[in-house]
Amino acid sequence: MTEKTPEYGYLACIDEAGDPGLKKVRPIDPDGASEWLMLSAVVMRAKWENDVVAWVDNIRTGLGIRQRRDLHYRTLSPTRKIAAANAISRLPLRGFVICSNKKNMRGHENRRAAKIPSQEWFYNFCLRLLLERVTEFCALRTIADHGRKLPIKIEFSRRGGHRYSQTRAYSLYLDHQRKAGSTFLEKRLVRTDMLNTDLMEDHPHDSRAGLQLADIIASAFYQAADCLGPGSWDADPAKALARIMATEKGSQKDFGVCLQPTPPWKANLTAEQQRIFEYYGYNFARW
């Protein structure tokens, strides 16, 4: 931390798999955008921030990777993917993932969300769901961990064409909503008192070790759910992450692992797609 950087108690690194496109969506449209958007976060106490590079280096060494300095899920063999997930699950961090199945959003335009100053309202909507859980997790821990309230530093994995200045503005919009009591979603709230726009940064994936850890989570769940896509379906790496996926009242369902839409049967998933979510506590019965 520099002298000008506000003090923070936690680091959250955020990455995604899939894309937020809604005009056309696979498998309804063979040439459409991805069926899923997965938005993930790894969250750790700030004291571990300087150790993250060594963590990733140790994982790469353990996997026998010497040709490159970064860790990227899609370049790993199936056995290395499981090994990487197992290695991450032993680290002092917690994982979160928002798994949005987009079939029911195909062609959808949210006029309410369009008022928000952002070109990618759907990405920011999923980000909101993620931040609701991440900020609640840290808010409940900050006194025990630090003896006082300390905010979260957030690092985003940079995507081409996305304006992160708008994402930071979106967090201010949520704070205004909370203070005005006009929040549309009422089940959860983003704890905006745990956020600070001066502690929000975006970086290329290969320049931040924490983003590479977040990539493993997003991509593992993507591979576990996207059995209708062009890739190789495999739920084992996502299952191997169970030790770090965050819990609420003893359950990972709808907290560390959040499936959208709700209720879960509305996603109209195949039996194979349902398996990873059933593993994390979801029930697809219509009742």
Domain ranges of the chain: 10-279
pLDDT at 173 over 70: no
Q: Mean of the pLDDT values across residues 194-199?
A: 94
Q: What's this model's pTM, rounded to 2 decimal places?
A: 0.91
Q: Yes or no: is domain 10-279 CATH 3.40.50.300?
A: no
Q: Report which of 92, 64, 34 is spatially closest to residue 219, judged by C-alpha positions.
A: 34
Q: Are 260 and 101 in contact (CB under 8 A)?
A: yes
* More confident site: 116 or 34: 34
Q: Are 108 and 22 in contact (CB under 8 A)?
A: yes
Q: Mean of the pLDDT values across residues 178-188?
A: 60
Name residues whose C-beta falls within 8 Å of residue 57's C-beta, 6 or more positions apart in sequence: 209
Strands (E), the chain: 10-18, 36-45, 94-101, 152-157, 200-203, 257-260
Q: Side chain identity at 187, as an amino acid letter?
A: K
Query: Residue 115's pLDDT band (boundaries 50, 70, 90)?
Result: low
Q: Mean of the pLDDT values across residues 144-151?
A: 98
Report helix, strand and coil shares of the chain as percent, to nearest 5: 45, 15, 40
User: Given this model, what pLDDT does residue 118 score?
Assistant: 47
Q: Mean of the pLDDT values across residues 116-141?
A: 87
